[in-house]
Chain A
C-alpha cells in the first residue's frame, strides 16, 4: 500500500500548513496503518518514520500517487 504524496490540494490554508509541518510533503512515502470500524472513522497514516491519526477530510487533502523508484 506504499505510495508517495504529491501535493496538497486546495486545502484550507491552516490545514495544509499543519500537514506540511507534520511531514506530508511532496515525495514522502505514506502508508495507511489502521482504519476504524465505523464509517468516517479516522485513519492512522505512516509518514516517514512517524504515525499520525487523521480524520478523513484531512487525509483527503493529501494527493498521493503510486511510488516511483527514487532517482539516486
Chain B
C-alpha cells in the first residue's frame, strides 16, 4: 500500500518444509500487516504481508505453502513450485527466496535447500528454531554451512521479535529494484539427483555439525503416552470432550453479555429516535439481525482457540495418526481428521484444510462430508433446543447433562458423515494406494502471538461476513416481513 510507484516493492517468498516454523516466522516479520486470500482456482490459502526494513525499504513477503519437495504431489506443493518458477498465472515470480529450515531437523530440510538452489533464484537460508536446537545441544556452524551451500545463512528464532534481526538485515541489504530477473530453471529430479542430494546432505552435515541423532527426546517421552495403543485414544477422546464442554460452558457468559448489550442498545435507540420507518429498519432489521449473529462469536473464538492450540502444539497430526485406522474403514485418510475437526468451527476453513490430502478422491470425499460436521453456526440452534428440552442437571462427576447431550449431537453428526463416506467409498472405484505419510513434528508450546494472529484472522473473516452478506439478508428479511 505504501509502495513507491517508481520502484515496486520486492517480493520475498518464504519457502520451507511443513512444520519448520515458517508461519511463526512470517507472523513475526509482518506482524498484523497480513492479507489472507486464496490462490485463484484452488483451495490453498495465500498469505502475504509486508515489512519495512530499518533503512526504509518496503518489501512484500509471501508465505508459500509448506513443501517437502519442488516436484509436487499435493495442491500445496503445486502452488509453491509454480509460484517459484513464475508459472502461476496472476502471481509474480518472487525476487528473493528465504528458505526456512528447522535447525533441529536439518537432515530432512537440507534436501529442499539443495533443490531450491538448483532453481537459481537468489536466496538466503534461515536456520529457524535455532534456540530449540541450542537447547537440545545441536551446534551448527552457520558460516561453514553458508560456505558449503554458497548462499547466506542466518539463524532465526521465529517466535521472538529479536530472533529475526539477522534475517531483516539480509533483506535490508537487498538491491532488488532494477535487478534483471533470473529465469528459474526446472528439471524433474532424477534418481541420481536424489542420490546426489542425499550424499551432499550427509557431507555438509558432517562438516557443519547439527546431525545429532539424539536417542530419546522429550517429544518421544510424550509420544510414548499420547500414541500409546490404549491411552492414546482415551486422551484424544478426553481432549475432544473437553473442547465441547468448554464451547458450551465458557461461552455462556460473553454470549449473554452480547445479547443483553444488543438489547440495551436497541432500547436506548428506540427511546432516542423518533418513530419512523428508518427506526424500524435500524432496530428490528439491522440491530436485531446483526445481534443474532454476533452471539456466535464467543463460541467461534473458543473453538478456534482450541483448534489452533492443538495445531500449533503438534497434537493434530497425532490425532490423525490415532484415527487413521478408524477413518480408513470408511475410506477416509487419517489426514481428513484435521479438516473435519476444523469443520466443527466452520466448514469453509475445514474444506480449505483438505488441501493436505494427496489423493484427489479422498479429498473430494472429505470435502463432501465436511458440511455434515456440526459447525459453530448450528451451535446456537442446538443450544436453544437443548435449553428448551433438556433440564439443567449435573450428572455424576460434575458433568453437565446439557453438555453431554451436545456432545451426543456432535457424535450423531460424525456418525452420519462416516455413513456418507462409506457410501461414497462403495460407489467409487477402488483407487488402490492411499497414502498417509504424515509428519509427526516435535511438540512445542503454542506461540501466543501466532495464536492471537490466527484467532484474529478468523474473527475478522466472521465479522466481515456479519457486516456484509448477513446484514444485507437481514435487511431484506425485515423488508419482506
Contacts and interface: CB of A to CB of B under 8 A. Distances in A.
B72 to A, nearest CB: 11
Query: Interface range on chain B: under 10, 10 to 19, 20 to 34, or 35 or more?
Result: 35 or more
A47 to B, nearest CB: 8
Given A50-B105, A51-B440, A21 B220 contact: no
Interface string B225-265: 00111101100000000000000000000000000000000
Contact of B437 (A36, A40, A52): A52
A49 interface: yes
Interface string B107-144: 11001000000000000000000000000000000000
A19 B432 CA distance: 17
Interface string A31-42: 001111110111
B21 to A, nearest CB: 14
A39 B252 CA distance: 43
Nearest to A43: B321
Contacts, number: 112
B203 to A, nearest CB: 13
A30 B478 CA distance: 65
Nearest to B68: A21
A65 interface: no
A36 B104 CA distance: 27
B438 interface: yes
A36 B107 contact: no
B174 interface: no
Contact of B439 (A12, A15, A51): A51
A22 B232 CA distance: 25
B227 A49 contact: no
Contacts of A50: 105, 107-108, 439, 441
A51 B441 CA distance: 7
Contact of A49 (B104, B433, B438): B104
B321 A44 contact: yes
Contacts of A12: 432-433
Given A37-B229, A44-B223, A49 B437 contact: no
Contact of A48 (B69, B71, B105): B105
A53 interface: yes
Given A23-B108, A49-B213, A42 B439 contact: no
Given A15-B433, A17-B73, 7 more contacts: A18-B68, A21-B68, A37-B229, A41-B325, A42-B321, A52-B438, A52-B439
29 contacts: A17-B71, A17-B73, A18-B435, A21-B68, A22-B437, A34-B227, A34-B228, A34-B232, A36-B322, A36-B324, A37-B233, A38-B326, A41-B324, A42-B334, A44-B440, A48-B213, A49-B108, A50-B439, A51-B223, A52-B438, A52-B439, A53-B317, A53-B321, A53-B324, A53-B439, A54-B436, A54-B437, A58-B436, A58-B437
